[in-house]
Amino acid sequence: MDPRTRELLAQASTATITTQLLARGLRNTFLAGIGPLNPGNARMVGEAFTLRYIPAREDIDVLEVFRDYDHPQRKAIESVPPGHVLVMDCRNQGRAASAGNILATRLMVRGAAGLVTDGTLRDTPEISRLAMPAFSRGASPMTNLAQHHAVDMQIPIGCAEVAVYPGDIIVGDEEGVVCIPAHLADEIAEPAAAQEELERFILQEIENGRPLKGTYPPDEDTLSRAAHRST
d(CA 83, CA 133) in angstroms, rounded, equals 12
Question: Smallest distance, Å, CB 61 to a copy of itself?
Answer: 9
Which residue lies nearer to a copy of itself by CB, 57 or 228? Answer: 57
167 and 47 Cβ atoms separated by less than 8 Å: yes
Rounded to the nearest whole angstrom, what is the least distance from the CB of residue 103 to a copy of itself in the complex?
8
**Which H or E run includes 202?**
helix 185-207
- In the complex with a copy of itself, the residue whose CB is nearer, 83 or 206, is 206
Q: What does the DSSP 8-state code read for residue 79?
A: T
Nearest approach, Cβ of 228 to a copy of itself (angstroms)? 20
Length of the chain: 231
**Least distance to a copy of itself, CB of residue 57, Å:** 5
The torsion angle over the Cα atoms of residues 21, 27, 29 and 31, rounded to 10 degrees, is 140
Closer of 3 and 213 to a copy of itself (Cβ): 213
- Residue with smaller CB distance to a copy of itself, 5 or 101: 101
Q: How far is the CB of 87 from a copy of itself (least distance, A)?
A: 12
The nearer residue to a copy of itself, 3 or 125, going by C-beta atoms, is 125
Own/partner contacts of 183-187, CB < 8 Å, gap of 24 or more, are 184/21, 184/24, 184/26, 185/1, 185/2, 185/5, 185/9, 186/2, 186/5, 187/24
Cα 82 from Cα 112, distance rounded (Å): 5
